[in-house]
Structure 1
């Protein structure tokens, strides 16, 4: 007989262990919710709500943390941290659903949280990218003279095509073509100029490579023309907020839809950005933008979200987003992260743009470990190799 502690990081890990033991599938399904612990944070709850939620939690063999003055009544409101297994939280939600004091709304939110399962099959224009099997690599191809990292490198179409071929050979799953720099303080580019940069290149890529092309734009006309040229995804840094026609174009062309969070515009986004709760505020933003997309007919299966590293964020905001990336899973769609060579890395380590490869790779591995499904990168080979070995380790791949 041997007894030891074992590492179980997810429900999937627990299910794998149960099957290894020989538990039947019904048993796996019954016990699975008991293995998953979740934490639910509630803001500005009344004292009555605090007392009832805590008592219901205790009755279900778990607990809820509240402000120390709730018991004395010296404060009017408190936040609550409720925690327990999925099964316990389900019982708590059921009990609260019969209560007054707006606790039915609380119960509905708890139910929503425990039931959400992130869709990891990205569908668009007849394609499917299965993100359950591997983290997708989106290679960056900027045909701009002023992008922060590779500005001017690929403005010649032949050079751009050669770089595209390199990225495809190195393992890119998507090529993201951009014709307007969105670095902090970047100047706006006119419609004709942006179209002239990206459309001929997209046409050439589609003629030469069987790979999904994403158009990095917030202009609906650019997205529409890019779709005609063969682009299959719109990567909108404005989260569908700068051009009201964008959701229509995406829906009509059945394109993939990357909704990114930004605070402000590229011209002003880094002028003293501030959040009370960066994760909470980004989640609220995603709720609104995803609703816009769905109301115009964009399928949920076509949507991915991107918290927008460096787009109206302080260094601490970027670090917090990456560390708490799994909190965006509440939306039930894949999460894209673009952190390659960005300034927060330079500020943490005092590095210039061309010195940030190793630190970028380290941050990308953390993003993968925290739940990133797609990584937008400059250095495809480095990202591909590091993420594939990380996946082999975390999945305990049987490789001979």
Structure 2
């Protein structure tokens, strides 16, 4: 049995409203009860099992010193020649450092550095090449900013090199299923992590993705991986979750996850949403140019924030930060 909070906002709250993840601006009075093979039902907060109510309402601890009671922006910095949107733009250390500086100045509190493209159909990048691409970039960024640096990798050796260079967060698109050494490394070093859901691998993930129930299947996978990390010794408050929009999912799978993303608050972790410039935005927004998808990306990000998502992963940091400021002001 699963419970998805029906999130609302505003200063006028009915009696019995409870905060979502400790937030002052978001609350709920009812939740949608979900069960495999059965119709959904709406139940009031007092009818929630105690464990679910606690996970849905308790404040989220800071992760990598970032306040999870307010939205955070993760700027995307791909040190790759072939990433789907910005491949080749940050191939030099100087270009990557300048881009990182601009992102921080424009509102990014996290910089996500990647050295292996995970676009659909992408080829595997050897570990030494991935380290060659990312380590000098992380060192250069660390030398001039206190922003949190995330390493976007599936590989333990790459994570270790990044950690030594100054990264403070490990973002694994495979959800710690690719390299068996990565999860123990994170636990040993008490490193904050982001666990993402991915069906298959980047080379094949969009061939024919199938689910029994995409929302509950993704939830169960993330819950299982959280339990595994905790069993290895990583603290629960060090974990962020990401449902993996666009990773082994059809458009309808993606929309089902986006409509119901508040379910993932039941995992008791901050939620990261990465939709920036993705195929979903181009298809529904009718925009074939990847670098012209900021409006659609921001629209979906704001819909996620309205359901309590804590971190937005974005290419267009300045535009996203401006939208967040206005979104907050009118609320």
Assess same fold via TM > 0.5.
Answer: yes
Gaps of 5+ in 1: 1-8, 20-27, 45-78, 91-109, 395-400
1:113 positional shift: 2.2
Task: Report 1:109-258 matches (<5 A).
Answer: 110-116=49-55, 117=57, 119-124=59-64, 128-132=65-69, 134-258=70-194
1:344 positional shift: 1.1
| TM-score, normalised with respect to structure 2 | 0.90
Q: Considering Cα pairs closer than 8 Å and 6+ residues apart, tell me whether 1 or 2 has the greater RCO.
A: 2
Is 2:327 the partner of 1:387? no
Q: 1:275 to 1:84 in 2, by over 3 A?
A: same
Deviations 1:186-244 (A, max 9, x none): 01111110011111111111111111100000001111111111100000000011011
1:331 positional shift: 0.3
What secondary structure sits across from 1:194 in the alignment? helix
Is 2:310 the partner of 1:373? yes
1:11 positional shift: 7.7
Q: Distance in 1 between matches of 2:329 and 2:189?
A: 36
What secondary structure sits across from 1:258 in the alignment? strand
Aligned length: 316
1:359 positional shift: 1.2
Task: Report 1:1-400 matches (<5 A).
Answer: 13=10, 16-17=11-12, 31-32=16-17, 36-44=29-37, 79-87=38-46, 89=47, 110-116=49-55, 117=57, 119-124=59-64, 128-132=65-69, 134-352=70-288, 353-394=290-331
1:18 positional shift: 6.7
What secondary structure sits across from 2:62 in the alignment? strand
What secondary structure sits across from 2:247 in the alignment? coil
1:288 positional shift: 1.1
1:388 positional shift: 1.7
Q: Distance in 2 between matches of 1:10 and 1:276?
A: 26
Alignment correspondent of 1:63: none
**Structure 1 contact 139–175 (Cα < 8 Å) conserved:** yes
Q: Distance in 2 between matches of 1:188 and 1:10?
A: 40
1:143 positional shift: 0.4
When the two chains are superposed, the root-mean-square deviation of aligned CA atoms in Å is: 2.0
Deviations 1:159-187 (A, max 9, x none): 11111111111010000000000101101
1:10 positional shift: 5.2
**Structure 1 contact 227–253 (Cα < 8 Å) conserved:** no
Q: Distance in 2 between matches of 1:118 and 1:260?
A: 22
Q: Distance in 1 between matches of 2:303 and 2:17?
A: 26
**Stretches of 4+ moved more than 6 A in 1?**
none
1:42 positional shift: 2.5
Deviations 1:114-149 (A, max 9, x none): 33225433334xxx21121x2100001100000000
Q: Distance in 2 between matches of 1:253 and 1:329?
A: 26
